[in-house]
Amino acid sequence: MQTAEIRRRFLQHFEQRGHTVVPSASLVSPDPSLLFTVAGMVPFIPYLTGREPAPFPRATSVQKCVRTLDIEEVGKTTRHGTFFQMNGNFSFGDYFKDGAVQHAWELVTGAVADGGLGFDPDRIWVTVYLDDDEAADAWHRIAGLPKDRIQRLGKKDNYWHTGADGPGGPCSEIYFDRGPEFGPDGGPLVDTAGDRFLEIWNLVFMQYELTDVRSKEDFRVVGELPKKNIDTGMGLERVAYLLQGVDNMYEIDEVAPVLRRGAELAGVTYGKDHEADVRLRVVADHVRSGLMLIGDGVTPGNEGRGYILRRLLRRAVRSMRLLGVDTATLPELLPVSRDAMSASYPELATDFDRIAAVAYAEEEAFRRTLSSGTALFDTAVREAKAAGTPALSGEQAFSLHDTYGFPIDVTLEMAAEQGVTVDEAGFRALMQQQRDRARADARAKRTGSVDVLAYRRLLAEHGPTDWRAYDTLRTDSRVLGVVSELDGEDGGAAEARAGEIVRVVLDRTPFYAESGGQVADAGTLTWDGGRAEVLDVQRPVKGLVVHQVRVLEGALAQGAELAAEVDREWRLSACQAHSGTHVVHAALRQVLGPQALQSGSYNRPGYLRLDFAWQGALTHQQRADVEDVANAAVRADHRVSARYMTLPEAQAIGALALFGETYGEQVRVVEIGGPWSRELCGGTHVAGSAQIGTLALTGESSVGSGSRRVEAVVGLEGFRYLARERDLVRQLGELLKSPTDGLLDRVGGILSRLRETDREIAELRAAQTKAAAGQLAADARDVDGVAVVTAAPAGLAGGDLRTLALDVRGRLGERPGVVLLASEAGGKVAVVAALTPAAQARGLSAGDLVKTVTPLVGGRGGGKADVAQGGGTDASGIPAALQAGEQAVATAAGR
């Protein structure tokens, strides 16, 4: 039975039993404490915990999940997978244990012809919590399971809670007996390895209120919940490999095609060599996981989700290299994974151009990293072994990662292959220091040095800020708190006087707080006898808006009544920039195609920048087309509107979401010209696109593999930019005495003459060098049988000096010869040594010679025995360096 068919049967089974089918949430978790959605119940946590009322009494879903804690175990076991799918059914105060048992039993053992999965009921075992007689009775009474196939386990195995105070309860797990060839009889209680009795479904009975939760097994039960919930999870991949008769999840229909293609590319046979099998399973798992993550908008990066994705893709590429495949492999493997997964997720096929662009760019970047990083790694390993301590320091590993982009997991793997250890703890400590600095910078932006608890206290006392930024530019407000960084970590309550900068919390505000790439509003707070300038507006905790202000006059204290007013020109310019960002995004997609999706943005009054997925620089014509399309939309004066709806409704009408962001149940959709531009957005906008005014693209650049950035100015700033460009053209015309429409030809002619002049100069320099080489060779001095040439020609940089040294060496013929030249050009000293083969045969080395003399010119250098080069900054040391070089030759030659 194909995996997509198992998925379909599961959803249909529960839909027929009154469950609402809920689409899978994104792999990007809505829980800020999680990088990814790690379990099927994550999207339902608000309903299961009672924080929000459930919109339906019972639900079912097949949730996409990613877990990365065991990433090193992928490929080594039959069950560890990074991406997996969790089938689940949920009851929110509706049915309880009897209903959960009945629904599960009917599906698991139901006949295939009737829509069931067709498992043999005689091979089903279950476990229940030690004292859960109710669940044990349900399995015996409803399913007819013999009591000896209903086993009882403790809290470690059969109790569930969130890890914090709140709801929890016993659980019951369903196991399938794979047969005696996989282990001894006796059920899950005996089979601790889980090889014979494979768990396929866990039913959680959420019935108690827990407190003092200290660990998985250490907590206190307060009492029963007023509403008891059901939360179940069936591993789709596990069920698939049982029903498909294969040995592990890597061999099911949604994964095996990639494994087989990888084996073909590597010229190996799966099942013949354990080490190769592990690498092929890593490739199959990681390619699928990368496909799904990019499909949900994650892009490779150095932090958080982006780092996980980068690690997965790079582990897949490196595994193929270890199998002997040095060419690019993702273009061969990713389409295979797309075809295998599209039956369940058709959006992968429609969005594949974007997904592929991101993945292929990451592989290409990693291939370059491997080329440069491997050489540096090999050098570090050689030095470590030569020093007799085969270990890389944390600093070396961090340098490889931070400076050269070499991932630590690759460093660890390569080090293990070389028999070298890595100070991973030292590396982790340096990484943590880097993260701490970044977090401190981000926290300082939001809260200054005030502890966030000060804001949580204000939120608890007064509730969320009444935020009016969409409706008005002015509100009558009351000061709920004045938070000063001088009052200690908790902020405290303070009175601020003229000249002081503090953070102010108001009961209501018209100020837009920085978010979604849009900077905060500017404006003023005015009260009887006082005035303050608003410098910044942030949301340090959800629901609370905090204003950083500089008091200009009077004193500002808690309880003060005041007028909060946004600078009208600032807001208009900010709206122009934000709406302009949407227009440029729509123009990019119209000109380049739908794969040119926004991955980030920033806008401030008059200026915007937008990052988007794209390979390679835009051509001049593409830039011109984007600008034309954007300005045509401005000229058309499209209506700009915003409306609220559910996320599925927004997706159904084609609203674009910023990949990597999470959204609530209700989202705000901003439209410019209806479907022409339709995006999820919480920013402020103009009423009609004509209000954006002049829009001019000012730059386009790379911001990483597979990502580009465009910059633009709008409104008055756009006009000023074009006026400056016009003035620059006028000044150039006057300077070159050319009409503006003839400037291009005039400048082209000048450049052509300059190139011709450069060519003539180069020819003269070459002739002079040849003449100088002949004279220098003729002036060679004999030092203990070695022809030595030392000289300091003026004004030659390293490349020209090397050419001269090699020319002189060639004129010395078969005899032992040493050429040592030094020259100062542009404030820097270049040193080159070149030796004939006969000189090397006498034990002389150009590398040793350069190492000897370069300290005398304030530098260093080195190289091979025949040619070496170095440099310095002290030209006054050149005579001493040449003398020291000649002496070194005399000493070495006279041995």
- Looking at 506, 541, 566, which one is the last position of a domain? 566
> Does residue 760 form part of some domain?
no
> Does residue 730 form part of some domain?
no
DSSP code, position 211: E
Residue 160's contacts (CB-CB under 8 Å, 6 or more residues apart) are 168, 169, 170, 171, 204, 206, 231
> Does residue 753 form part of some domain?
no
Residues 464 and 509: beta-carbon distance below 8 Å: no
Q: What is the mean pLDDT of the chain?
A: 88
Residue 892 has pLDDT above 90, yes or no: no
Mean pLDDT value of segment 742-751: 89
pLDDT at residue 562, as a whole number: 96
> Does residue 781 form part of some domain?
yes
- Looking at 214, 247, 280, which one is the last position of a domain? 247
- Within this chain, do residues 603 and 456 fall inside the same structural domain, yes or no? no
Least-confidence region, from 35-39, 104-108, 626-630? 35-39
pLDDT at residue 39, as a whole number: 86
Residue 640 structure tokens: 């700009």
19 labelled binding-site residue: no
- Within this chain, do residues 438 and 317 fall inside the same structural domain, yes or no? yes
Residue 176: closest CA among 104, 232, 230:
104
Residue 296's contacts (CB-CB under 8 Å, 6 or more residues apart) are 26, 27, 28, 64, 659
Residue 639's contacts (CB-CB under 8 Å, 6 or more residues apart) are 671, 672, 673, 674, 687, 688
Question: How does residue 796 score in pLDDT terms, banded at 50, 70 and 90?
Answer: confident
- Within this chain, do residues 528 and 585 fall inside the same structural domain, yes or no? no
Least-confidence region, from 49-63, 148-162, 176-190, 405-419? 405-419
Q: What angle do CA 15, 342, 587 make, to 5 degrees?
A: 110
Residue 440 has pLDDT above 60, yes or no: no
Q: What angle do CA 806, 812, 817 make, to 5 degrees?
A: 85
CA distance 502 to 511: 16
- Report the CATH number at residue 780: 3.10.310.40
Residue 597 has pLDDT above 60, yes or no: yes
Mean pLDDT value of segment 112-125: 95
Residue type, 450: V
Residue 8 has pLDDT above 80, yes or no: yes
Residue 551 structure tokens: 């008091």
**SS3 readout for 541-561:** CCCCCEEEEEEEECEECCCCE
pLDDT at residue 80, as a whole number: 72
- Within this chain, do residues 77 and 201 fall inside the same structural domain, yes or no? yes
Number of structural domains (the chain) is 5
How far is residue 893 from each of residues 228, 701, 845, measured CA to CA in Å?
93, 56, 11
Residue 415 structure tokens: 């080090």
pLDDT at residue 130, as a whole number: 93
CA distance 233 to 84: 12
582 labelled binding-site residue: yes
Mean pLDDT value of segment 690-706: 88
CA distance 852 to 148: 85
- Within this chain, do residues 578 and 690 fall inside the same structural domain, yes or no? yes
pLDDT at residue 446, as a whole number: 46
To the question of pTM greater than 0.85 for the whole model, the response is no
Residue 687: CA count within 13 A, CB half-sphere: 1
How far is residue 870 from each of residues 825, 828, 846, measured CA to CA in Å?
14, 11, 11
> Does residue 478 form part of some domain?
yes
> Which position has the higher pLDDT, 422 or 839?
839
Residue 103 structure tokens: 């629904």
pLDDT at residue 391, as a whole number: 82
685 labelled binding-site residue: yes
Residue 28: closest CA among 293, 276, 392:
293
From first CA to last CA, the distance across the chain in angstroms is 83
Residue 628 falls in which region: left (phi positive, over 0), alpha (psi -120 to 50) or beta: alpha
H-run or E-run covering 395: helix 394-402
Residues 166 and 210: beta-carbon distance below 8 Å: yes
Residue 504: closest CA among 486, 482, 477:
482
Residue 830: CA count within 13 A, CB half-sphere: 20
CA distance 361 to 338: 17
Question: How does residue 487 score in pLDDT terms, banded at 50, 70 and 90?
Answer: very low
Residue type, 277: D
CA distance 35 to 45: 16
- Looking at 247, 267, 287, which one is the last position of a domain? 247
Name the 3-class secondary structure at 570.
helix
Strands (E), 665-780: 666-672, 677-680, 695-702, 707-714
- Report the CATH number at residue 702: 3.30.980.10
- Report the CATH number at residue 502: 2.40.30.130
DSSP code, position 513: P
Torsion angle, alpha carbons of 265, 266, 271, 276, to 10: -140
Residue 369 has pLDDT above 80, yes or no: no
Residue 10 has pLDDT above 90, yes or no: yes
- Within this chain, do residues 659 and 586 fall inside the same structural domain, yes or no? yes
pLDDT at residue 438, as a whole number: 54
Please, is 501 exposed, middle or buried when counting C-beta atoms within 10 Å of its C-beta (0-12, 13-18, 19+)?
middle
Residue 833's contacts (CB-CB under 8 Å, 6 or more residues apart) are 805, 818, 819, 820, 821, 846, 847, 849, 850, 863, 867, 868, 869, 885
pLDDT in tens, 536-579: 999 988 889 999 999 999 999 999 999 999 999 999 999 999 99
Question: How does residue 788 score in pLDDT terms, banded at 50, 70 and 90?
Answer: very high
- Within this chain, do residues 101 and 236 fall inside the same structural domain, yes or no? yes
Name the 3-class secondary structure at 59.
strand
> Does residue 240 form part of some domain?
yes
Q: Beta strands 159-161 and 150-153: pairing type?
A: unpaired
Residue 290: closest CA among 361, 237, 236:
361
Residue type, 869: Q
Residue 48 structure tokens: 């299961």
Question: How does residue 9 score in pLDDT terms, banded at 50, 70 and 90?
Answer: very high
Residues 805 and 776: beta-carbon distance below 8 Å: no
Residues 465 and 545: beta-carbon distance below 8 Å: yes
Name the 3-class secondary structure at 837.
helix
Residue 230 has pLDDT above 60, yes or no: yes
> Does residue 812 form part of some domain?
yes
Residue 710 has pLDDT above 80, yes or no: yes
CA distance 873 to 864: 23
Residue 834: closest CA among 779, 889, 884, 873:
889
pLDDT at residue 405, as a whole number: 63
Mean pLDDT value of segment 492-518: 88
- Within this chain, do residues 584 and 657 fall inside the same structural domain, yes or no? yes
H-run or E-run covering 255: none
H-run or E-run covering 151: strand 150-153
**SS3 readout for 777-822:** HHCCEEECCEEEEEECCCCCCHHHHHHHHHHHHHHCCCCCEEEEEE
Residue 115 structure tokens: 């829509």
pLDDT in tens, 22-73: 999 888 876 656 788 888 888 888 888 777 788 899 999 999 999 887 677 7
Name the 3-class secondary structure at 409.
helix
- Within this chain, do residues 811 and 775 fall inside the same structural domain, yes or no? yes
pLDDT at residue 449, as a whole number: 47
Mean pLDDT value of segment 410-425: 80
- Within this chain, do residues 475 and 435 fall inside the same structural domain, yes or no? no
> Which position has the higher pLDDT, 492 or 531?
531
CA distance 567 to 570: 5
CA distance 447 to 442: 9
Residue with tokens 């209680």: 189
385 strand-pairing partners = none
DSSP code, position 122: G
pLDDT at residue 158, as a whole number: 93
Strands (E), 423-560: 466-467, 474-483, 496-497, 501-506, 508-509, 523-527, 530-538, 546-553, 555-556
Mean pLDDT value of segment 471-494: 75
CA distance 642 to 575: 13
Residue 301 has pLDDT above 90, yes or no: no
Residue with tokens 């006059």: 553
CA distance 179 to 189: 15
Residue 300's contacts (CB-CB under 8 Å, 6 or more residues apart) are 306, 309, 310, 313, 358, 362, 705, 706
Question: How does residue 490 score in pLDDT terms, banded at 50, 70 and 90?
Answer: very low
- Within this chain, do residues 703 and 791 fall inside the same structural domain, yes or no? no
> Does residue 740 form part of some domain?
no
- Within this chain, do residues 184 and 47 fall inside the same structural domain, yes or no? yes
Residue 322 has pLDDT above 90, yes or no: no
Residue 437 has pLDDT above 90, yes or no: no
pLDDT at residue 31, as a whole number: 63
Residue with tokens 């292959």: 417
274 labelled binding-site residue: no
Q: Which domain holds residue 392?
A: 259-442
pLDDT at residue 32, as a whole number: 58
CA distance 194 to 797: 70
- Report the CATH number at residue 135: 3.30.930.10
